[in-house]
């Protein structure tokens, strides 16, 4: 079996699902009875996120192997594993667009930025800062606890990470490429925060008549920022943010936005739950995994959009998305996203001291990844319990309210 065979993916998934099932039985998290209050389509999205987060782990697992083999990060001679990352990121952006645009549709002119950002900070920052603490500790270890840059520069570098890469993107820390520690997954958090920061303004377009104007405006901003040419450094930061947000708004977030309008106008579409549609979705997904170039973009979104629309209208893929182990993985998916790269970095570098992973047999390497995956799920469960769950709702909140809050949680857990 070659190292890039999809068989390894399908062989390890049952192991991780069984672990998730055991943890769900122990903690009670991921129990469908606790999620029903937030609506069936939210429940399906929860399961979807669980699958996508673990897919990103597999994506970075093979990238890590070829990094040890070639010294080049990002190379994967497999469309299947190469696509597990970008397709997952694309669908995470679908989820973001859908969940928050659904809220905007309900009150497009009454958006409360203060409440919105307080909730975003409570939802995202505790676990984010926890994972960032691990990155800083590992960076200190990798640089032998020596200061390699001036103190003021180090403070600025750390500040860019605390601010999720805004506005200047993520930098090295103390002359070390710290992004490698977490597989550079924070880059999509930067895009998420661009969307969040713009959402109070974008919400004005959250009506059926105005939404087309949003896409026209985004296209205009994208074209304008692309053809500005050379601009001063300070202006470059602005044009970079505008160009990045407009690009992903048109190619990814737009699918979630359109889906939100469909859901608001057509509450039920039984046809989309039909087994025939599930088969169509499976064919589309296989086509993406094996034939579509692994890169977020319009072709990828066009192929994945029908699948996402089926999910929001209640297609659970023969119960897969609503199964207890998958919804458990969805519950901890944000922490899986934040921590899986860190675990891969530590585990593979530790094992590589004794076994050359770049020349290891597929069986040996994927056995190491199996151990790393178990650690990821256990550590993510701990992170969720300590750093996420306490901030979802006040202690006096009902289970229903907590479920609803979780359903609107972080939608992106992976980057390439």
Which of 236, 329, 310, 300 is CA-nearest to residue 268?
310
Q: Tokens 């990103």 label which residue?
A: 56
Eight-state DSSP code of residue 159: H
Q: What's the pLDDT at 229?
A: 55
**pLDDT, tens digit (0-9, with 9 covering 90-100), for 90-127:** 999 999 999 999 999 987 667 788 889 999 999 999 99
Measured on CA atoms in the order 377, 56, 248, 103, is the torsion positive or negative? negative
What sign for the dihedral angle of Cα 4, 7, 13, 15?
Answer: negative
- Look-up of token digits 């919804």: 327
Domain range holding 374? 6-399
pLDDT of 111 reads 73
Q: Provide the token pair at 400.
A: 């229903």
Q: Which residues make Cβ contacts (< 8 Å) with residue 290, sequence separation at least 6?
A: 79, 80, 83
In the chain, count H helices and then E strands: 17, 0
**Any domain includes 406:** no
pLDDT for the residue numbered 405: 47
What total number of domains does the chain contain? 1
Q: Does residue 410 lie within any of the structural domains?
A: no
Alpha helices in 147-230 (DSSP H): 151-162, 186-202, 211-226
- Residue 167: per-residue pLDDT: 87
Query: In the prediction, which pLDDT does 268 show?
Result: 83
What whole-number distance in Å separates Cα of residue 342 and Cα of residue 86?
19
Which of 347, 282, 355 minimizes the C-alpha distance to 321?
Answer: 282
Task: Find tokens 């903690």 and name the residue.
Answer: 27
Q: Which residues of the chain have pLDDT under 50?
A: 33-41, 395-405, 407-408, 410-416
Is cis: bond before 167, omega within 30 of 0?
Answer: yes
In a domain, 34, yes or no: yes
**pLDDT tens per residue, range 153-162:** 999 999 999 9
How far is 4 from 6, CA to CA, in rounded Å? 6
Residue 264 burial by Cβ neighbours in a 10 Å radius (0-12, 13-18, 19+): middle
Of all residues in the chain, the percent with pLDDT exceeding 70 is 89
Q: Is residue 50 part of a domain?
A: yes
Contacts (Cβ under 8 Å, ≥6 apart) of 269: 313
Place of tokens 């601010």: 163
Question: pLDDT for 385-408, tens place per residue?
Answer: 999 999 986 543 444 444 444 544
119 by Cβ neighbours in 10 Å (0-12 / 13-18 / 19+) ranks as middle
pLDDT averaged over every residue in the chain: 89
Q: Is residue 411 part of a domain?
A: no
Sign of CA dihedral 175, 176, 179, 180: positive
């Amino acid at each position: 079996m070659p190292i890039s065979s999809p068989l390894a993916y399908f062989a390890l998934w049952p192991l991780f699902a069984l672990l998730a099932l055991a943890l769900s039985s122990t903690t009670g998290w991921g129990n469908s009875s606790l999620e029903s209050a937030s609506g069936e389509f939210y429940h399906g999205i929860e399961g979807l996120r669980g699958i996508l987060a673990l897919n990103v782990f597999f994506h970075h697992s093979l990238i890590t192997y070829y990094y040890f083999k070639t010294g080049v990060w990002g190379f994967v001679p497999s469309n299947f594993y190469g696509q597990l990352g970008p397709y997952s990121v694309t669908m995470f952006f679908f989820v973001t667009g859908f969940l928050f645009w659904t809220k905007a549709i309900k009150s497009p002119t009454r958006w409360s930025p203060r409440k919105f950002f307080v909730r975003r900070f409570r939802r995202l920052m505790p676990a984010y800062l926890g994972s960032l603490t691990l990155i800083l500790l590992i960076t200190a270890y990798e640089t032998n606890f020596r200061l390699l840059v001036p103190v003021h520069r180090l403070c600025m570098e750390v500040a860019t990470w605390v601010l999720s890469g805004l506005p200047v993107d993520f930098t090295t820390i103390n002359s070390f490429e710290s992004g490698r520690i977490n597989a550079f997954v924070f880059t999509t958090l930067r895009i998420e925060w661009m969307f969040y920061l713009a959402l109070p303004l974008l919400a004005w377009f959250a009506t059926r008549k105005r939404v087309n104007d949003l896409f026209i405006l985004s296209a205009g901003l994208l074209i304008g920022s692309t053809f500005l040419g050379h601009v001063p450094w300070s202006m470059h930061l602005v044009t970079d943010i505008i160009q990045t947000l407009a690009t992903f708004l048109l190619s990814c977030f737009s699918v979630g936005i359109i889906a939100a309008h469909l859901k608001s106008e057509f509450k039920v579409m039984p046809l989309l739950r039909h087994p025939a549609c599930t088969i169509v979705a499976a064919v589309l997904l296989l086509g993406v995994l094996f034939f579509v170039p692994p890169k977020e973009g319009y072709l990828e979104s066009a192929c994945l959009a029908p699948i996402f629309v089926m999910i929001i209208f209640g297609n659970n893929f023969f119960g897969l998305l609503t199964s207890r182990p998958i919804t458990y993985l969805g519950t901890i998916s944000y922490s899986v996203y934040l921590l899986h790269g860190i675990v891969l970095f530590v585990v593979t570098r530790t094992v590589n001291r004794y076994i050359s992973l770049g020349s290891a047999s597929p069986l040996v390497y994927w056995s190491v990844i199996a151990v790393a995956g178990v650690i990821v799920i256990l550590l993510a469960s701990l992170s969720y319990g300590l750093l996420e769950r306490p901030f979802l709702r006040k202690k006096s909140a009902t289970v229903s309210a907590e479920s609803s809050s979780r359903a609107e949680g972080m939608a992106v857990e992976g980057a390439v």
